[in-house]
Amino acid sequence: MPEVATASPWCQRWRAGWHSWRHVHDGGFDARCYRVEPISDAAARSWVVANHYSASYPAASRRYGLFAGEHLVGACVLGVPMSDRVLTNVFPDLQPVRDSLELSRLVLDDAVPGNGESWFLARVFEAEASRGLRGVVAFADPVPRLVGGRVLFAGHTGHIYIASNAAYLGRSTARTMTVLPNGSVLPARSAQKVRAGERGHHHVERQLVHLGATPRRPHADPAAWLAAALDEIGAARVRHRGNHRYAFRLGQTARLRQRVRVGMPSQARPTGVDGLPPDQLTLFPGA
Percent of the chain residues past pLDDT 70, beyond the cut: 80
Span 39-63, average pLDDT: 91
Q: Which residue has the higher pLDDT, 24 or 194?
A: 194
- Specify the pLDDT at position 142: 80
- Specify the pLDDT at position 15: 55
- Specify the pLDDT at position 287: 32
Domain ranges of the chain: 10-172+243-278, 179-233
Mean pLDDT of the chain: 84
- Pairwise CA distance, residues 30 & 119, whole Å: 10
| pLDDT bracket for residue 237 (50, 70, 90) | confident
What element of type H or E holds 101?
strand 100-108
Q: Which residue has the higher pLDDT, 147 or 61?
A: 61
Q: Which of 151, 57, 149, 181 minimizes the C-alpha distance to 107?
A: 57
- Specify the pLDDT at position 11: 58
Q: Is the pLDDT of residue 268 over 60?
A: yes
Residue 186 dihedral angles phi and psi, to the nearest 5°: -85, 110
Q: Which of 74, 37, 44, 48 minimizes the C-alpha distance to 61?
A: 44
- Pairwise CA distance, residues 1 & 271, whole Å: 17
- Specify the pLDDT at position 25: 54
- Specify the pLDDT at position 258: 96
Percent of the chain residues past pLDDT 90, beyond the cut: 56
Statement: 10-172+243-278 belongs to CATH 3.40.630.30: yes
- Specify the pLDDT at position 177: 85
Q: Which residue(s) pair with 75 in the sheet? A: 65, 107
Poorest-confidence range of 23-32, 93-102, 164-173, 183-192? 23-32
Q: Is the pLDDT of residue 286 over 50?
A: no
Q: Which residue(s) pair with 106 in the sheet? A: 76
- Specify the pLDDT at position 116: 87
The tens digit of pLDDT for each residue in 96-144 reads 999 999 999 999 988 888 788 889 999 999 999 999 999 999 998 887 7
3-state secondary structure of 135: strand
Predicted TM-score (pTM) of this structure:
0.76
- Specify the pLDDT at position 147: 60
| pLDDT bracket for residue 12 (50, 70, 90) | low
The tens digit of pLDDT for each residue in 247-262 reads 999 999 999 999 999 9
